[in-house]
Amino acid sequence: MGRLTTTSLLTWACALVAILLAISVTEANQSADLAIKVAKLNDKASKAKGIIELDSATFEEVLAMPRNYSMVILFTALSPQFQCAPCKNFDPEYKLTAAGWSKLPVKSQLYFGVLDFKVGQSVFQKFNMNSAPSVLYFPATGALSSPPPFDRYDFAKSGFQAEPFASWLSAKAEVQLKVQRPFDFLAFAVKAIGFSGLLALGHILYGRAGKVMRSKYLWAALSLFTIFVMISGHMWNQIRHPPYTMTSRDGRPGFIAAGFQNQFGLETQIVAVMYAVLCGAVISLISSVPRTEDPSKQRLAIWVWLTLFGIMFSILLHFFRLKNPAYPFRLLF
Amino acid sequence: MSAETTSTVARVLKPTILILIAVVAIASRLFSIIRFESVIHEFDPWFNYRTTQHLVKNGFYEFWNWFDEKSWYPLGRVVGGTVYPGIMVTSALIHNVLHFFNFPVDIRNVCVFLAPMFSGLTAFSAYLLTKELKDSSAGLLAAAFLGVAPGYISRSVAGSYDNEGIAIFLLVFTFYLWIKAVKTGSAFFGLLTALFYFYMVSAWGGYVFITNLVPLHVFTLLLMGRYSNRLYVSYSTFYAVGTLLSMQIPFVGFQPTRTSEHMAALGVFGLIQLFAFAELVRGYVSPKQFKTLLRSGIVAVGAVSVVGLTLLSLSGVIAPFTGRFYSLYDTGYAKIHIPIIASVSEHQPTAWTSFFFDLQMLIFLFPAGVYLCFKELKDEHVFIILYSVFASYFAGVMVRLMLTLTPVVCVSAAIAYSTLLDTYLEKSEHVLASNLKGIQAQSSVTDTPASNTPATTTTEAKAGGKKAAGKGTPAKTVTKAAESESKTHAKTHSDKKRYPIFNWDSRAMVIVQLTWFLFMFAWHCTYVTSGSYSSPSIVLASRQADGSQVIIDDFREAYYWLRKNTKEDAKVLAWWDYGYQMAGMANVTTLVDNNTWNNTHIATVGKAMATSEEVSYEVLRQHDVDYVLVLFGGVIGYSGDDINKFLWMIRIAEGVYPKEVKEVDFFTPRGEYKVDHEATPTMKNSLMYKMSYYRFAELYGGNAVDHVRGARMPAEGPTLSVLDEAYTTENWLVRIYKVKDLDILGRDLKDATAFEKGKVRKTSLLKRK
């Protein structure tokens, strides 16, 4: 019994050693493989300002398990036939972020990849991706056996700018990525020239068009326009970006948004016009009517403006009741 | 009636009307008192009320040096240095004066009625302001409009004891004094402007509006070539005294010399000195020399100021815009960078319906008034135009700033309305007579184009302006200004000959229609005030099916429970919205409150709410929290509850703890925010979810429906192991939980709870076998 135990123990020990050896060999192999891979990636990335261009095959390759680096990949569609405007907008911002890669203390922490739809359709299908651009972040696998879940950058929340993207990525990959916008000499030059041009133009015009600039009617028109635009909720549109109109479903007019705190683009314009008409009626009643010499013409003018005033106000109230059905007041209808 | 009797009657009528307007203004703000009781409303007022109590009880110096250890635990808050003390000092003063005369009025009633009282004064200052712009009849209209306009009532109903309650009075009155100062050029009125500006600075952060609008007015007048000694005296007095005074408020401190929002005022102050200097030099040198001097002077000054400003901002002496203010210019700024600002409902942009709701017909009379200001375009009209344009922009960006727009809308609409009335009520003979006068004046001006003082005076008198020629100002400037003015007036008269309204029927129609609109306006205001702006929000009213009213008083019930059943120094954690109320009503120590000065601390509270029990318990223990308070509206359908605010808590927490709290985890794969069985695991495990829905399913026998979100809840509700339910109010609106102590036997609280429930864990079962 005792001998048997010893033998079996020995056998077990041998087996264990063998297994350990095998593991260390594969690990050595793997780490050698990894080192080659990383070297390749470093090479590629440093050649293209930190960005590694991928296609379906290389995509699988760089993401193959195991990997000791994280990978952020931009799925984009830059070919003209897709007409992907956001892709084009985000591309320079992504490149700007990737430019910070070369300043990372440990290069093999994170790599920037780009996969265009043209060369990576199968990957797009695999990830069930219907829209571009998308940014996915694949963390390092370490010794894990199953791939860790990837993260998706939320464009809707954080926007298309490089700075929020870099801070998102820095938090994910635990690195210090800094976005350094290159000084845009061209834009600066254009602005400088444009500004001095404007100054010169102003100087030239001041003599001739000074009368126009000093005309109070111009300023009155400008001020009134600004006021009308503002009081009809334009800033709300600027901030909330509502649709311009909506197709109606249940017979409700499509240009009026349901709900008191909601509005469409067209709706605010209609309101602005209504305000302008109402205000115009008041101004006419005040200043143009008393300048009419002929009594019957004057009477006609008053009646016309007054009727317009009343009808427009009724429409406005009606409009308001559509937004707030509980509102109890009405004028004509 | 002779002219003399008319004026006597008017002299009696005007004060009577003004008093009546004040009475109406006050009365229309009392709905909430009549319907509920004399109680402080909402959130911020509770802090103001608490500090006022402190001030009355302990005196001014104690108040000034008050370090409040009961808020922002464990940090505390220096109240004296972080508060606009104007409103507290005002009510304490009123209280003390009343007590001096042996009127034993409770400080609470002073606080409750402060805003309505001041609204009477606001109406009066609107009268004064409009009188300076047109005449006293327009002034009366403006007073009436401002007295009842919902845009102003929204922040000044009885019980709404907030800074805005007195600040709008101060705003309008300061503007009145400023216009008076510009018109008369008197240092006395400049000084008064500065004093009231100081009062305004002490009362409301919105003083920045004055700080920018007045210099803008001066700057525009300079651009229009209307520099005068009147302007110089009034602005210099106002700026020098006003700025020095404003720096006495600890909360403002050195901001007037440092932050960008005060820079405009400083810059214009410098500019007007240069203008004055140039005017002085002009008198001593030849025109040609002067031109050269002026040119080189402009270049030198420009270069120096550009270099200086750049250096100062680079070295950090001049701070960049503060967040709240910056979000006015760059409307996308707050959304990305400061969720805490974006989360506040009064910082949202204004939809057109809100404009109409708050101002009704005034909103379209207002541009007509601005147009009329353009027709007159004296110095004071320029001010109203600038005020209109900028205030309408700001009101569009932020709902809260409707408050600054409302006064100018009322003033300007009153000008339009009263001009309409003038036109259609004026006697025909008057119009013809004034025409004749205008033509005479014009001819006299054209006859002697050189400085013609007599003609000027007639035109001036006709125009109703009281711009007194030579009231202590150098004759030269006055003649020059008057000359140009008389020319413009003459022109107005020559190409715009006015005729009376000939037919009585058209007159009658216009008047009838206008009067009817006034009625509608009054109805609208009453409707809006009574329906929308008179709810105290700490006491809710709802109607039952049979029409009877039910009062829901859960908040006060909960706070009273806290006050009576917790130990003196109990720390209660809740979302910052309820901080002031808890401190004021429950007298407990809070972690965060409506002051929101420390984003990290708020994020920590958000983290405690948004994480699982284990993580959250650690936070709770670290901050010595004894109780946690949540609002839950699912039973009665109160939509302003914490589950609806939860997303903001998550967002704010994510900003500081991006690893522990992730907004994405709270959304279902389809991107929905769900609380029923589809809710994500993170959502279901969060402390907020558990506290809200704890025992909720039991209430309905496992068939619960959340009435706010219309969600059918799972039959098996969440379980809690680190908290004990301490108190739930009648309608389940407020739920208070007690944080458990560490387990006596050193067990994990989860295990301990399971053990107590008799659910012995499986592993221990195995072990026992």
Same domain for A57 and A190: no
Interface of A with B in 130-159 (CB under 8 A): 154, 157-159
Give the number of other CB atoms < 10 A from CB of residue B518: 15
CA distance B97 to chain A (A): 43
Most confidently predicted of A39-48, A62-71, B8-17, B453-462: B8-17
Instruction: Tell me which chain A residues have a C-beta less than 8 angstroms from the C-beta of B503.
Output: 295, 298-299, 302
Would you state the pLDDT for residue A282? 94
Q: What is the three-class DSSP state of B442?
A: helix
Q: Which residues contact A126 (CB under 8 A, 6 or more apart)?
A: none
Q: Does position B25 have pLDDT exceeding 70, yes or no?
A: yes
The continuous run of DSSP H or E covering B408 comes out as: helix B402-425
B330, B337, B506: which to substitute to probe chain A, counting the most A Cβ within 10 Å?
B506
Question: Please, what is the Cα angle at B27 between B154 and B407, to 5 degrees?
Answer: 45
- A296, pLDDT greater than 70: yes
CA angle (B409, B410, B415) in 5-degree steps: 100
Token pair for A36: 């080659």
Q: What are the DSSP calls for B660-699, one per residue?
A: T--GGGGS-TTS----STTS-HHHHHSHHHHHHHTTHHHH
Q: How confident is the model at residue B224 (pLDDT cuts 50, 70, 90)?
A: confident
- Helix axes of B44-58 and B107-133: crossing angle, nearest 10 degrees: 110
Using an 8 Å Cβ cutoff, are A322 and A301 in contact?
no
The string of DSSP codes covering A31-52 is HHHHHHHHHHHHHHHHHTTTEE
Hey, which residues 558-587 in chain B have their CB within 8 Å of chain A? Answer: none
- pLDDT of B374 > 80? The answer is yes
Is the CB of residue A262 less than 8 Å away from at least one CB of chain B? yes
Average pLDDT on B519-526 reads 94
pLDDT in tens, B507-519: 899 999 999 999 9
Asked if B508 is an interface residue toward chain A (Cβ–Cβ < 8 A), one would say: no
In Å, the largest CA–CA distance within chain B is 122
Q: Which of A164, A231, A320 is facing B336, going by the closest CB pair?
A: A164
pLDDT interval class at B759 (50, 70, 90)? low
Chain A residues with CB-CB distance to B350 below 8 A:
233, 235-236
Q: What is the pLDDT of residue B8?
A: 87
Report the alpha-carbon angle B611-B613-B618, nearest 5. 85
Residues A113 and A252 in one domain: no
Name, in order, each residue with C-beta under 8 angstroms of B171's C-beta and a sequence gap of 6 or more.
Answer: B200, B206, B209, B210, B404, B407
- Residue A36: which pLDDT band, with cuts at 50, 70 and 90? confident
Residues A238, B349: C-beta atoms closer than 8 Å: yes
Place of tokens 């002034």: B139
Chain B residues with CB-CB distance to A267 below 8 A: 352
Asked whether residue B456 carries a pLDDT value surpassing 50, the answer given is no
The confidence band for A16, taking pLDDT boundaries of 50, 70 and 90, is low
Q: Which of B528, B373, B519, B450 lies closest to B29, judged by CA?
A: B528
pLDDT of residue A37: 76
Give the HSE-up count for residue B470: Cα atoms under 13 Å, Cβ half-sphere: 7
Q: How many CB atoms lie within 10 A of CB B275?
A: 17
Q: Is residue B419 within 8 angstroms of chain A, CB to CB?
A: yes
CB–CB contact A171 B395 (8 Å): no
Most confident of A169-173, A246-250, B414-418, B435-439: B414-418
Interface A:B, Cβ pairs < 8 A: 169
| Partner-chain residue, chosen from A228, A263, A328, that has the shortest CB–CB distance to B527 | A328
Structure tokens at B391: 């205030």
CB distance A247 to A254 below 8 Å: yes
Nearest to A290 among B501, B509, B524 (CB): B501
B396, B419, B503 member nearest A233 (Cβ) = B396
State the Cα–Cα distance between residues B92 and B107, nearest whole angstrom.
Answer: 8
CA distance B651 to chain A (A): 11
Query: pLDDT confidence of B176, banded at 50, 70, 90?
Result: very high
* Alpha helices for chain A (secondary structure H): 2-47, 56-63, 85-99, 121-126, 155-158, 162-173, 185-213, 216-231, 234-240, 265-283, 295-323
Please give the span between the terminal C-alpha atoms of chain B, in angstroms, as a whole number. 113
Q: What are phi and psi of B224, to 5 degrees?
A: -80, 0
Prior bond of B500 cis (ω within 30°): no
Confidence of residue B547 (pLDDT cuts 50, 70, 90): confident
Q: Measure B352 CA to nearest chain A CA, in Å.
A: 4
Given B364, B501, B509, which is nearest A298 (Cβ)? B501
Structural contact between residues A232 and A266, judged by C-beta atoms closer than 8 angstroms = no
A205 and A219 co-located in one domain: no
pLDDT digits (tens, 9 = 90+) for B467-500: 443 344 444 444 444 444 444 444 444 456 778 8
pLDDT at residue B141 greater than cutoff 80: yes
- Is A299 in the B-facing interface, judged by CB distances under 8 Å? yes
**pLDDT on residue B492:** 47
Candidates A239, A291, A315, A319: best to mutate against B (most CBs of B within 10 A) is: A239
Does A301 fall in a domain?
yes
**Integer angstrom CA distances of residue B755 from B81, B337, B748, B764, B765:** 51, 46, 11, 11, 12
Q: Is residue A143 part of a domain?
A: yes
Q: Compute the mean pLDDT over every residue in chain A, rounded to the nearest whole number.
A: 80
User: 10 Å Cβ neighbour count for B33?
Assistant: 19
Q: Do B658 and A320 touch (CB under 8 A)?
A: no
B524/A224 Cβ within 8 A:
no
Cα–Cα distance between B591 and B576 in angstroms, integer? 8
| Closest CA in chain B for residue A157 | B336
Determine contact: B329 vs chain A, CB below 8 A.
Answer: no
Three-class SS of residue A73?
Answer: strand
What gap in Å lies between CA B733 and CA B641, rounded to an integer? Answer: 8
> Over 50: is that where the pLDDT of B464 sits?
no
Q: Give the domain extent around A197.
A: 183-211
Asked if residues A259 and A277 have their Cβ atoms less than 8 Å apart, the reply is no
Arithmetic mean of pLDDT over chain B: 84
A12 within a domain of the structure (yes/no): no
How many domains is chain A built from?
Answer: 3
The predicted pLDDT at position B491 comes to 45
pLDDT digits (tens, 9 = 90+) for B742-753: 887 778 888 888
Tell me the one-letter amino acid at B233: V
d(CA B111, CA B444): 60
For residues B310-324, give the mean pLDDT.
62
Give domain status of residue A133, yes or no.
yes
Structure letter (DSSP) for residue B261? G
Q: Does any CB of chain B come closer than 8 Å to the CB of residue A107? A: no
Cα A330 from Cα B527, distance rounded (Å):
13
User: Counting Cβ atoms within 10 Å, is residue B493 exposed (0-12), middle (13-18) or buried (19+)?
Assistant: buried
Residue B130 to residue B412: CA distance in whole angstroms: 8
CATH topology of domain B554-768: Rossmann fold (3.40.50)
Q: What's residue A253's pLDDT? A: 58
Is B505 touching A (CB cutoff 8 A)? yes
Same domain for A63 and A102? yes
- Strand, helix or coil at B714? coil
Residue A74 lies in a domain: yes
Give the pLDDT band of residue B88 (cuts 50, 70, 90): very high
Beta bridge partners of B739: B723
User: Is any Cβ of chain B less than 8 angstroms from the Cβ of A165?
Assistant: no
Q: What pairing do the DSSP bridges indicate for beta strands B723-728 and B734-739? A: antiparallel
Same domain, A271 and A151: no
Shortest distance between the Cα of B365 and any Cα of chain A, in A, equals: 6
Residue B513 to residue A275, Cβ atoms within 8 A? no
| Of the listed ranges B82-86, B316-320, B415-419, the one predicted with least confidence | B316-320
ipTM of the assembly?
0.82
Could B396 and A298 be called an inter-chain contact, meaning their C-beta atoms sit closer than 8 Å? no
Per-residue tokens: B560 = 């009273």
Distance from CA of A186 to the nearest CA of B (A): 22
- Residues A122 and A118: their CA atoms lie apart, in Å, by 10
Assess whether A85 and A137 both reside in one domain.
yes
Torsion sign, CA atoms A76, A79, A81, A84: positive
Residues A27 and A168 grouped into a single domain:
yes
Q: For residues A108 and A68, is the Cβ–Cβ distance under 8 A?
A: yes
Distance from CA of B556 to the nearest CA of A (A): 30
Identify the band that residue A231 occupies on the pLDDT scale cut at 50, 70 and 90. Answer: very high
User: What confidence category does residue A21 fall into, taking pLDDT thresholds of 50, 70 and 90?
Assistant: low
State how far the alpha carbon of B118 is from the alpha carbons of B76, B106, B109, B114, B404, in Å.
Answer: 33, 18, 14, 6, 16
| The two structure tokens encoding residue A74 | 């931009």
Q: What is the tens place of the pLDDT at every residue in A82-105?
A: 777 778 888 888 888 888 777 777
* A36 and A100 together in one domain: yes
Q: Which residues of A touch B354 (CB under 8 A)?
A: 233, 261
Among candidate residues A118, A149, A173, the one where a domain is terminated: A173
Residue recorded with tokens 């609806």: B644
pTM attached to this predicted model: 0.79
Residue position matching structure tokens 């108190």: B727
| The three-state (H, E, C) secondary structure of B293-352, written as one string | HHHHHHHHHHHHHHHHHHHHHHCCCCCCCCHHHHHHHCCCHHHHHCHHHHCCHHHCCCCH
Contacts of A105 (CB under 8 A, 6+ apart): none
Put simply, whether A270 touches B (Cβ < 8 Å) is no
Share of chain B above pLDDT 70, in %: 85
Residue B351 is nearest to which of A236, A293, A295, comparing CB atoms?
A: A236
| Two structure tokens written together for B82 | 């972080």
- Give, as one character, the DSSP assignment of residue A120: -
* A232 within some domain: yes
Rounded mean pLDDT, B38-57: 90
A175-225 tens-digit pLDDT: 777 777 777 778 888 888 998 898 888 777 766 666 667 788 888 999 999
Q: What is the DSSP letter of B707?
A: T
Question: 3-class DSSP state for residue B164?
Answer: helix
pLDDT, tens digit (0-9, with 9 covering 90-100), for B103-112: 999 999 999 9
Closest residue by Cα to residue B410 from B142, B77, B717, B16 = B142
Q: How confident is residue B1, by pLDDT bands cut at 50, 70 and 90? A: low
* Candidates B371, B372, B529, partner chain A, best to mutate (most A CBs within 10 A): B371
In this complex, is the C-beta atom of B522 within 8 Å of any C-beta atom belonging to chain A? no
- How do the domains of chain B map onto residue ranges? 163-320, 427-495, 554-768
Of B115, B136, B152, which is closest to residue B410 (Cα–Cα)?
B152
Best of A260, A279, A309 to disrupt the B interface (most B CBs within 10 Å) is A279
Residues A206 and A220 in one domain: no
Res B9: pLDDT: 87
Distance from first CA to last CA of chain A, Å, rounded?
107
